[in-house]
Structure 1
Amino acid sequence: MRRTASPFSLILLGLGTFLLVLAPLLVWYVTPRAAVNPIDIDTTAVYTGRGSVFDTDRIATVPNRKITVTQRVRGDVEDSERSGNAVWDVTTTVDTDKSLPAADPHDALDFVPHRWVMDRKTTRPVHCCQEKPYIEGEAYLKFPFDVRKRSYQWWDNTRGSTVTLHYRGTKKIQGYTGYRFTGTVPPTRTGTRLVPGSIVDQPGRPQVLAEEWYANHGVELVVDQRTGRVIYAQTGPRRTLRAPGAKEDAAVLLDSRKIAFTAETQREAVRQAKRDSGRLRLVGETLPVGAAVAGFVLAVAGGVLVARGRHRQDPTDMPDASGTHRPTLTM
C-alpha cells in the first residue's frame, strides 16, 4: 500500500516556509526603506509665551508682551527627487500682538527664511541644493530615527552653530511618552547691526555698528523615540545689542524664559508621531514576529503531514527470501 503527501500538506509547508523567509525580509529590507524622512512635508508649528520685546515706535524695550513664533516647513519635492535628499524650506516668524495680524510676514518682529537639506535615512545635514545657512550637527527640526538615550548635537539657527542637548529621561505630552532633551546657550555674539547710537548708550554718535548677542535660558525638546519627531518644544531666547567691544548688554531686543508649543501644535505632533511610529512598529516588529510564529507553526504542521504521507510499503507486500512476494490469504 502506498501513501503520498496530500496537496494540503504541501501547501502548509510551502506557506510556512514563505512566512519564515518573509519575517527577516521585513526587518532587514522593508523597515529601513520605510524609515525615511518625507519630501512632501507641509507642517506648521506655533509657539507662544510672554517676554520683553523692543518696540521700534517707542525706541524702548517693553516688558510682558505675548510672543508668537510660527515655524512653517514645506518640502521642495522637485529638488528632493533630483538630489535624492529631503529638501525642506523653513520660515520662522516672531510676532507680538501688534504685528501678528499683518498679512506680510516680512512685517513681523523677526522673519527668517532658510533651507535645510538632509539625508532621508540618517537625518544628517547634506550640503547641496542651495542650502542656506550651512547647517551642521546631528539634528534640526527633528531627530534621527530610533533615538538613543544620549546627548545630541542640535542645530540652533539663531546661534549659527550646534547646541548640545542632554538626555533627561522621559516625559508625557498629551498622554504620549517621549524622550526628553535639554540644553542651554551661553551669551554668544552672532553678528552686527547698524543702529542709532542712543540705543546702545552712545547718544553722541548718530550711527553705531552694534554687536548682536544671543543666549538661551533653556531648550527643552520631547521626541518620539521611533521616528525622531519633536512632539514638544520649549525655548527661552534672549537677543540683545551691545556697543562695539562692550561687556554688557545695552538693549534687549527679545527676552523670554519660556516660549513653547501650543496645545494644538502638541496634539497634532503627537497624532503624527503615533501614526508614523505605528507604521514602523507594524513592519518592523508586529508583522515579522507574526510571520515568524505563523510560519513556524505552518511549516511544522505541513512537515508532519508530509512525513506521514510519504511512500511506505505494507509488510504483507514485502518479498520473501526467494525474492517472490507472498500471496495474501483470503477466505
Structure 2
Amino acid sequence: MRRTASPLSLILLGTGVFLLVLAPLLVQYVQPRAKVTPIDVDTVTVFTGTGSYFDTRRIETVTGRPLTITRQVRGDVADSVRSGKAVWDVSTSVDSQDTLPAAATHDSLQWTLERWVTDRRTNEPVHCCQETPVFDGEAYLKFPFDVQKRSYRWWDGTLGSTVTLRFDGTQKVRGHEGYRFTGRVEPARTGTRLVPGRLVGQPGRPQVLAEEWYSNHGIELVVDRRTGRIVNAAIGPRKVLRAPGSTRDAVVLLDSRRMEFTPATQRAQVALAAADNRKLRLLGETVPLGAAVLGTLLAAAGAALLVRGGRGGRGGRGARGQGRDSGPAPAM
C-alpha cells in the first residue's frame, strides 16, 4: 500500500531539521565571527582629577589644580578594510583649566597622536599600516574578548613598554559588573629634554639635556568580561625632570594621584558594553537555543503528522476493499 504525506507535515519536518542544524552553526560559526574589534569607531573618553603641572607661563610647578585627559579614538575604515586589521588613530591631550578647550594641540599641556593596529579577533598587536609607536602586549585601548581571571600585559604609551596588570576581583560600574585589574609603574627613564640648566639645579650651564622620568601611582581598570571593553579607568601619572645622572626629581611636569573616567564617560562605556553583550548573547545563546527548541517542536510535529497521515491512508483503503469483497451487490 502506498503512503501519502501531507505538504504541511513535510514543511514542518523540513523546517524543524533546518533549525536543528542551524543552532550549532550559530554557536560554532556565526558568533565567533561576531567577536571582532569594530573598525568604524569614533569615541571620546575623558579622565578628570586634581594634581600638579609645570606652568610654562609662570616657569614653575603649580599644585592642587584640576586636570583633564581627553582621548579620542577614530577607526581608519579604509586602511582597516584594506589590511583586514583594526586600525585606530588615537589622540590624547592633557589639559589644565587654562587650556580647556584647547583650540590647537600645542595649547595643551601634553598631546600625543598614535596609530594602534591589532588583529580583530585576538587583539594582538599587528605591525603594519604605519603603526606608531611599535606596540606590544595583550591590551591597551581594550582587552581581548572573553577576559579571563589572570594577569595581562598592558601597554603603557608613556612608558613605552608593557605593565603587568593583575586580576583583582570584580567591581560594578553604573550597575554593570566587570573584572578589575590593577598595577603600578615604578620610576623609569623615558627620554631626554633640552632645558635651561637652572631649571634642574645647574645654573652654571645655559642648556642641559635633562632626563625625563615617568611613574604611575596606580592603574585601575574595570573591564567587561565578554567584550573586553573598559567601562572605567583610573590612573595616577607622574612625569618629572632630573639633571643628567641625578636620582633627585628637579621639576615636576605632571603629577596626579588619581585621574578617573568622568561619570558621563562611564555611562557611555557601560552602554556600549551592554549593547555589544546583547548582540553576542543573541547570536551565541538566545537565537541558538530558540532555534533548537523550535526546531525540535516542529520536527516532532511534522513527524507525528507524517506517521498519522500514513496510518490514516492505510485504514481508508482497507475499509474500501472489505466493502467490495463482502458479497454481490444488491439486485436492482
The answer as to 2:97 corresponding to 1:92 is no
Of 88-97 and 2-11, more deviation after overlay is shown by 2-11
AA aligned opposite 2:128 = C
Q: 1:35 to 1:315 in 2, by over 3 A?
A: closer
| Residue correspondence of structure 1 range 236-251 to structure 2 within 5 A | 236-251=236-251
Structure 2: how far apart are the matches of 1:137 and 1:301?
A: 54
TM-aligned CA deviation for residue 4 of structure 1: 2.2
Question: What is the RMSD of the two structures over their aligned residues, measured on CA atoms?
Answer: 2.1
Q: 1:303 to 1:49 in 2, by over 3 A?
A: same
Alignment-derived partner of residue 322 in structure 1: none
Of 294-303 and 158-167, more deviation after overlay is shown by 294-303
Structure 2: how far apart are the matches of 1:316 and 1:245?
A: 106
Alignment-derived partner of residue 326 in structure 2: 328
Structure 2: how far apart are the matches of 1:159 and 1:82?
A: 31
Structure 1: how far apart are the matches of 2:205 and 2:117?
A: 43
Q: Work out the percentage of aligned pairs sharing the same amino acid.
A: 63
Alignment-derived partner of residue 126 in structure 2: 126
TM-aligned CA deviation for residue 6 of structure 1: 1.8
Query: Residues 216 and 238 of structure 1 are in contact (CA less than 8 Å); yes or no, is this contact kept in structure 2?
Result: yes
Alignment-derived partner of residue 62 in structure 2: 62
Structure 1: how far apart are the matches of 2:8 and 2:102?
A: 72
AA aligned opposite 1:49 = G
The answer as to 2:293 corresponding to 1:293 is yes
| 1:140-174, Cα deviation, whole Å (9 max, x unpaired) | 11111111111111110000001111111111111
TM-aligned CA deviation for residue 32 of structure 1: 1.7
Query: Residues 79 and 129 of structure 1 are in contact (CA less than 8 Å); yes or no, is this contact kept in structure 2?
Result: yes
Structure 1: how far apart are the matches of 2:265 and 2:15?
A: 46
Helix, strand or coil at the partner of 1:290? helix
Alignment-derived partner of residue 219 in structure 1: 219
AA aligned opposite 1:31 = Q
| Residue correspondence of structure 1 range 1-331 to structure 2 within 5 A | 3-310=3-310, 313-314=314-315, 317=318, 327-328=325-326
Alignment-derived partner of residue 321 in structure 1: none
Structure 2: how far apart are the matches of 1:316 and 1:304?
A: 20
Of 109-118 and 1-10, more deviation after overlay is shown by 1-10
Normalised TM-score (structure 1) = 0.93
Structure 1: how far apart are the matches of 2:15 and 2:253?
A: 68
Structure 1 unaligned spans of 5+: 319-324
Helix, strand or coil at the partner of 1:310? helix
TM-aligned CA deviation for residue 123 of structure 1: 1.2
Structure 1: how far apart are the matches of 2:317 and 2:162?
A: 86
Q: 1:326 to 1:228 in 2, by over 3 A?
A: same
Structure 2: how far apart are the matches of 1:274 and 1:316?
A: 62
Runs of 4 or more, structure 1, over 6 Å off, are none
Of 299-308 and 144-153, more deviation after overlay is shown by 299-308
TM-aligned CA deviation for residue 308 of structure 1: 2.5
Helix, strand or coil at the partner of 1:98? helix
| 1:240-272, Cα deviation, whole Å (9 max, x unpaired) | 111111122111111111101011111111111
Normalised TM-score (structure 2) = 0.93
Q: 1:211 to 1:316 in 2, by over 3 A?
A: closer
Q: 1:301 to 1:185 in 2, by over 3 A?
A: same
Q: 1:317 to 1:308 in 2, by over 3 A?
A: closer
TM-aligned CA deviation for residue 5 of structure 1: 2.3
Query: Residues 317 and 326 of structure 1 are in contact (CA less than 8 Å); yes or no, is this contact kept in structure 2?
Result: no
Instruction: Count how many residue pairs are aligned between Structure 1 and Structure 2.
Output: 326
| 1:257-299, Cα deviation, whole Å (9 max, x unpaired) | 1101011111111111111111111011110011111111211
Query: Residues 223 and 232 of structure 1 are in contact (CA less than 8 Å); yes or no, is this contact kept in structure 2?
Result: yes
Q: 1:41 to 1:3 in 2, by over 3 A?
A: same
